[in-house]
Amino acid sequence: MKNICVIGTGYVGLVTGVCFADLGHIITCVDIDPKKLELLQSGKSPIYEPGLEELLERNIRAERISFTDSYTVGLDNADFVFITVGTPMGDDGAADLRYVRAAARSIGESLSKPIVVIDKSTVPVGTGDLVTEIIKEHVRDDIPFAVVSNPEFLREGSAMRDFFNPDRIVLGSSRYEAAEQVAALHETLGATIMITDLRTAEMIKYASNAFLATRISFVNEIAQICEKLGADVKEVARGMGTDKRIGPHFLDAGIGYGGSCFPKDVLALHHMAATSGCHPQLLQAVMDINKDARYRFVTKVEALLGDLSDKVIGVLGLAFKPNTDDMREAPSVDIIAHLQEQGAHVKAYDPVAIERASELMPTVTFCATAYDAAKEADALLIVTEWNEFKQLDWGRLREFMRTPVVVDGRNLYEQQDMAKHGFVYWGVGRGVPPMRLEELGQPEYVQALASDQT
């Protein structure tokens, strides 16, 4: 059992603290937000993550986790301190390190015993050295410490599973013995542990996220070509994925990536490369394709409905992915903004993200169910692939809608099935042109479209 301090209680910090507590360690989480602290101390999670609140309550009852706004309290008797504060995008695309700098300074000012400082936040290459210098500048009495980079690979919506079943643990430090101490914290997880230098560990996180984002943008470019040439991108991706050199993951065509990691990390890596004298052409293309995917999605709605002025558009899904309420860089934000710029009235539903979304989009009408979002709608857009959207009663939805048009940004459905329900349906990269609005009400067209897909 170790005493661990966690600085920051966002997605990474709270999951890290709660999960280490569940492994039997004593955790003190430090955060400066009084409202968040009050919520956490009552056993309530400020974020939506499946299973997190139950684990939080259990470890509070077991007195293995506590919360404070005091660095002195958090670091008292701590063997390790994790820095898990946010590193948002700066105006120039670089990661904003103000919170990391502040945490490093406060750690230095509050240290009373030797400790291992662990950078868990996603930080630019060289930040470990920066944290070392800041702590050295402010630490009293030459108290010894070491800095270890331990980048997180937690996916929102499955963060608990990822913590307890990691693909690998990456550690970087100029002091090998410190990295070994952090490795010992993770031994019970049974994962491969890789120890390297600080800068290499920091780069592994950026390179990993940039590669996954590249796969998404690649398949979205293939999807655009498939639509023009009459191929089906889902089958193309399935054929590619069976190749062991490629694999099936992150090959789902759609409206692009979002969230707190991929957009920020690709842009930050691009900035690091450019300011180092490199020419990051591929990274620029990845970002451009991702942006275009959202724009093309709206143009499909315009192609089907024409002028969007005073049209009612229902949007299903707001969070950037299912099983989270995170709205950071969510495709829904750009898509809804484009629709409203064209004069459309937007009604939206999401199982958990409405509260956060309402802060970003106050002019949207938020609904209690998917069926409410469909009422009197001229089109229904699938933006986030929540499981409940796979079980919708399309007959009921057809009755509610003014015009039976579905534009599917996640390819949840099949053209044939939607045609049988009488819908104009357009997915992403499926290679079959949508039924035209002027042909609505002509059952023979629907039957022909359905038969074409058999």
pLDDT at residue 435 in the model: 55
Q: Is residue 374, in this structure, part of any structural domain at all?
A: yes
Question: How many folded domains does the chain comprise?
Answer: 2
Last residue within a domain, chosen from 166, 196, 226: 196
186 shares a domain with 232: no
At 154-164, the pLDDT tens digits run: 999 999 999 99
Question: Distance between CA atoms of 332 and 329, rounded to whole angstroms?
Answer: 8
Mean pLDDT across the chain = 93
Question: Distance between CA atoms of 28 and 76, rounded to whole angstroms?
Answer: 9
440 shares a domain with 345: yes
388 shares a domain with 260: yes
Q: Is residue 176, in this structure, part of any structural domain at all?
A: yes
Which residue among 29, 261, 278, 367 is the active-site one? Answer: 261
443 has a pLDDT exceeding 50: no
pLDDT at residue 94 in the model: 87
Average confidence (pLDDT) over 384-389: 96
Q: Who's near 243: CB < 8 A, 6+ residues apart?
A: none
Is 191 exposed, middle or buried, given 0-12, 13-18 or 19+ CB atoms closer than 10 A?
A: middle
Last residue within a domain, chosen from 196, 218, 244: 196
At 29-77, the pLDDT tens digits run: 999 999 999 999 999 999 999 999 999 999 999 999 999 999 999 999 9
Average confidence (pLDDT) over 350-370: 96
Q: Is residue 201, in this structure, part of any structural domain at all?
A: no
Q: Is residue 380, in this structure, part of any structural domain at all?
A: yes
Q: Are 85 and 121 in contact (CB under 8 A)?
A: yes
236 has a pLDDT exceeding 50: yes
pLDDT tier for residue 440 given thresholds of 50, 70 and 90: low
Q: Who's near 426: CB < 8 A, 6+ residues apart?
A: 300, 304, 406, 407, 408, 434
| 261 is annotated as an active-site residue | yes
Q: Is residue 101, in this structure, part of any structural domain at all?
A: yes
172 shares a domain with 278: no
Instruction: Tally Cβ neighbours within 10 Å of residue 182.
Output: 22
390 shares a domain with 415: yes
Q: Is residue 253, in this structure, part of any structural domain at all?
A: yes
Q: Which domain holds residue 248?
A: 206-454
3-state per-residue secondary structure call for the chain: CCEEEEECCCHHHHHHHHHHHHCCCEEEEECCCHHHHHHHHCCCCCCCCCCHHHHHHHHHHCCCEEEECCHHHHHCCCCEEEECCCCCECCCCCECCHHHHHHHHHHHHHCCCCEEEEECCCCCCCHHHHHHHHHHHHCCCCCCEEEEECCCCCCCCCHHHHHHCCCEEEEECCCHHHHHHHHHHCHHHCCEEEEECHHHHHHHHHHHHHHHHHHHHHHHHHHHHHHHHCCCHHHHHHHHHCCCCCCCCCCCCCCCCCCCCHHHHHHHHHHHHHHCCCCCHHHHHHHHHHHHHHHHHHHHHHHHHCCCCCCEEEEECCCCCCCCCCCCCCHHHHHHHHHHHCCCEEEEECCCCHHHHHHHCCCCEECCCHHHHHCCCCEEEECCCCHHHHHCCHHHHHHHCCCCEEEECCCCCCHHHHHHCCCEEECCCCCCCCCCHHHCCCHHHHHHHHHHCC
Q: What percent of the chain has pLDDT over 90?
A: 89
154 shares a domain with 298: no
437 has a pLDDT exceeding 60: no
Question: Distance between CA atoms of 332 and 313, rounded to whole angstroms?
Answer: 13
Question: Distance between CA atoms of 387 and 370, rounded to whole angstroms?
Answer: 12
pLDDT at residue 432 in the model: 58
pLDDT at residue 195 in the model: 97
Question: Distance between CA atoms of 207 and 296, rounded to whole angstroms?
Answer: 28
At 82-122, the pLDDT tens digits run: 999 999 888 888 889 999 999 999 999 999 999 999 999 99
Is 441 exposed, middle or buried, given 0-12, 13-18 or 19+ CB atoms closer than 10 A?
A: exposed
410 shares a domain with 342: yes
442 has a pLDDT exceeding 70: no
362 shares a domain with 215: yes
Look up the CATH number of the domain holding residue 78: 3.40.50.720
Last residue within a domain, chosen from 196, 216, 232: 196
At 391-429, the pLDDT tens digits run: 999 999 999 999 999 999 999 999 889 989 999 999 999
